Chain A
Amino acid sequence: MKNRYSIFSLIRNAFSYHQEWPPAWRSPEPKKSYDAVIVGGGGHGLATAYYLAKNHGMTNIAVLEKGWLGGGNTARNTTIIRSNYLWDESAKLYEHSVKLWEGLSQELNYNVMFSQRGVLNLAHNQHDLRELSRRINANRLNGVDSEFLNPEEVKKFCPAIDLRGGGRYPVLGASLQRRGGTARHDAVAWGYARAADELGVDVIQNCPVLGFESHADGSITINSGKGPIKAGKVGLVVAGHSSVIADMAGFRLPTESRPLQALVSEPMKPCIDTVVMSNAVHAYISQSDKGELVIGAGADAYISYGQKGSGHQTEHTLAAICEMFPQFRRVKMMRQWGGIVDTNPDASPIISKTPVANMFINCGWGTGGFKGTPGSGWTFADLIASGEPDDMNAPFKLDRFKTGYLVDEHGAAAVAH
């Protein structure tokens, strides 16, 4: 790589007061045509471009982003990473992703701050306990690390929890995935962008896609904010706006876009060194390296494209957090925001060909796609390059909403993130 980041480059640049670092990626004007164009410069789109270039040698490609890199859900999420999903199809995809996370900083030469601090999923009642045990067994059969903790073990692992949960949310047990954790969200977008740029990919910001025109030779003209761009293949990865982009291309999706909210508190001294999730009450919490509590809420009931949700969602989450962590009652919340998540009827993504020739879509990651970023980019690049589904992405075809062969993660694992 041209400008490898290392301890030495850090020292070298200290002499010029860090004023002379070269830009991490170019900002080229779009060419007239590309072999492939990725629409959407979130983590998933950038990862797709990177693996197309890296694994498939496709370097005459571009990523078109209507705003700035990672301005969507990439930088709005609570960054929980895990792979303890129930079904075989999901386990394969998310576990592949976690494996990629484990080497990602080295692979990209960019510190994505992947921290395997463990992810706890709490059980508050008998039903939760049974579901939890079932999922742990399924995880283990799929080679995904997953273990059961009884209440005493939970307390030992995360002393901050009040096991009585204020009487409302008693902790009866938990699943623990020790390899799960968090990462730095912006760094994921920036790291993939820089590494893709290095391989020759044009990363183009402030370039909204406005429409498509298919040609007899199979190519597609993209009508963009920076003029028409011809593409041999097109990959759509626009998360919350998937239905809008599908509409432009003339096909339908079963996807619905909803607000999902998160909050961070004032920074505090380290007090919680793992990730705690409670699927039943839609509350999850971790502490950032800066010391802020990072808290995620549940998705709203209604469809919306305005990046804000209803106040009662966060109120509900904070109420539960206060029961489980009474010491946080007096903590002040500093910021709150929403992102628009693309949810599918079975809470699993669509990674698929579309009714339009040479056009592919990757969407529906909903409330839990950050963890999937590397695996999603990897398998979507495989699909775009070969044009045909393979073992990993075939279960996530769009036509499962015609055949009924769902990957139903709903009540199982993907309720939250």
Chain B
Amino acid sequence: MLLIECPHCGPRAETEYAGCSEAHIARPESGGLDMTDAEWVEWVFWRKNTKGVYLERWNHAAGCRRWINCMRDTVTNEILATYKAGEKPPKIADAEREYKF
């Protein structure tokens, strides 16, 4: 189980969180009706599936109920940083590490 540090509440078990998905996916500016199909599907379906350092968001559902962001290595599951929704990801020295296969 992951131990995820909520920036508001401190380290909490993964089971307190819900709704894991890619972070920093902004709803297109144009909003509803005038969105093109391409913009719409991009927002709805297309996600990164990074093997290596990945940015995701979690909802601290059984805690403060706020969305938070998390930088995690998807090979080792090591959590490199967590930060508040709306913030930019912190610079991590070895965030460049990459795994090919």
Given A241-B101, A306-B76, A310-B2, A301:B49 Cβ within 8 A:
no
Contact, CB under 8 Å: A254 / B37: no
A66 on the interface (CB 8 Å rule)?
yes
| CB 8 Å contact bits of A60-93 with B (1 = contact, 0 = none) | 0000001000000000000000000000000000
Q: Which of A32-51 contact B (CB under 8 A)?
A: none
Question: Which residues on A are within 8 Å of B, measured CB to CB?
Answer: 66, 208, 210, 241, 243-244, 252-257, 301-306, 310-312, 345, 401-402, 404
Contact, CB under 8 Å: A302 / B46: no
Count of B interface residues, CB-CB < 8 Å: 29
Q: Which residue of B lies closest to A225 (CB)?
A: B101
Given A301-B20, A302-B72, A256:B56 Cβ within 8 A:
no
Q: Which residue of A lies closest to B17 (CB)?
A: A301
Q: Which residue of A lies closest to B49 (CB)?
A: A243
Q: Which of B60-101 contact A (CB under 8 A)?
A: 72, 74-77, 99-101
Contact, CB under 8 Å: B15 / A254: no
Q: List 11 A-B contacts (CB under 8 A).
A: A241-B51, A243-B50, A243-B51, A256-B47, A257-B49, A305-B75, A306-B77, A310-B14, A312-B1, A401-B45, A402-B41
Smallest distance from the beta carbon of B18 to chain A beta carbons, Å?
Answer: 8
Contact, CB under 8 Å: B41 / A305: no
| CB 8 Å contact bits of B28-53 with A (1 = contact, 0 = none) | 00000000011001001111111100
Residues of B within 8 A of A402 (CB): 37-38, 41
Q: How many A-B residue pairs have CB under 8 A?
A: 67
Contact, CB under 8 Å: A310 / B1: yes
Contact, CB under 8 Å: A254 / B74: no
Residue A303 contacts which of B15, B54, B76, B101 (CB distance < 8 angstroms)?
B54
Chain B contact residues, majority secondary structure = loop
Query: Which of A252, A254, A302, A304 has the most CB atoms of chain B within a 10 A radius of its CB?
Result: A302
Given A254-B47, A256-B47, A312-B1, A303:B37 Cβ within 8 A:
no
Contact, CB under 8 Å: B20 / A208: no
Contact, CB under 8 Å: A210 / B100: yes
Residues of A within 8 A of B75 (CB): 304-306
**What CA separation (Å) do A340 and B88 show in the bound complex?**
29
Contact, CB under 8 Å: B100 / A244: yes
Contact, CB under 8 Å: A311 / B1: yes
Residues of B within 8 A of A302 (CB): 2, 20, 56, 72, 74
Contact, CB under 8 Å: B15 / A312: yes
Contact, CB under 8 Å: B1 / A303: no
Smallest distance from the beta carbon of A348 to chain B beta carbons, Å?
Answer: 13
5 pairs of A and B residues whose beta carbons are closest in the complex = A243-B49, A301-B20, A310-B1, A254-B45, A401-B45
Residue B74 contacts which of A208, A303, A310, A312 (CB distance < 8 angstroms)?
A303
**What CA separation (Å) do A61 and B9 show in the bound complex?**
57
Residues of A within 8 A of B76 (CB): 306
